[in-house]
Amino acid sequence: MSGPSPLPIQLSQRQQAILQQILRRHTSSQRLVRRVQIVLKANQGENNERIGRELHLNRNSIAKWRSRWHEGAKKLALLEAKGIDDKSLMKWVEDILVDQHRPGTPATFSTEQVVQIVALACEDPEASQVPTSHWTPKELAKEAVHRGIVKRISPRSVERFLKRSHSTTSSKSILAQLQPR
């Protein structure tokens, strides 16, 4: 199947040596090793389809990493011309081949709100005129909304906050620890 010709990759001897070093290093992640293999095969003139078959990867993945390398190649060439040391050059090479940061969805609740909910869980429910001897996530969620800490919250979210706020030395939740004995 023909398509656009792939971006050309031309590596300097130093870049090839660094990529080979990453490939041989036992501490390199499999993800990084795959990306190094893509760049090295692209340097040999192989097209995306053939590299994909050899490495059992999608052609789009090959094109993505070939493109990412192509974008960073000018910077690497400048750094080499300035006489950067091998350790620093390796860092730059690895930076080109790592996943870019993806921020994800913004937090629904602020740290302050979470702290207030955890503090609420530490209070006696009877002081808030809740007719129970101990808090449940459902009751805490209701009370947090009633007090205006949050506009709405699920009992499951409250439960996650309480589990996360406790030290890792115990498997008990904060609700179980605050029960009168």
CA 120 to chain centre: 32
pLDDT at 169: 42
Tokens of 127: 């002081």
Q: Any idea of the CA torsion for 139, 167, 102, 108, to the nearest 10 degrees?
A: 20
> Position of tokens 């609700």?
175
**What integer best gives the mean pLDDT of the chain?**
87
Q: Is the pLDDT of residue 176 over 80?
A: no
DSSP state of 44: T
pTM above 0.75, yes or no: no
pLDDT at 170: 45
Q: Are 153 and 141 in contact (CB under 8 A)?
A: yes
Pick the closest to residue 149 from 164, 161, 134 (CA basis).
161
Distance between CA 6 and CA 52 in Å, rounded? Answer: 13
Q: Is the pLDDT of residue 16 over 50?
A: yes
Distance between CA 128 and CA 118 in Å, rounded? Answer: 15
- What type of residue is 123? E
pLDDT at 132: 84
Residue 175 vs residue 41, higher pLDDT: 41
Distance between CA 99 and CA 31 in Å, rounded? Answer: 9
* Lowest-pLDDT choice from 1-5, 19-23, 174-178: 174-178
pLDDT at 110: 92
Give me the long-range contacts of 28-34 (CB less than 8 A, separation at least 24). Answer: 31/99, 32/94, 32/97, 32/98
Distances (CA, A) of 67 to 6, 7, 53, 139, 155: 9, 7, 18, 53, 46
Domain map (residue ranges) of the chain: 13-96, 111-177
Q: Is the pLDDT of residue 171 over 80?
A: no
Confidence bin at 168 (pLDDT 50/70/90): very low
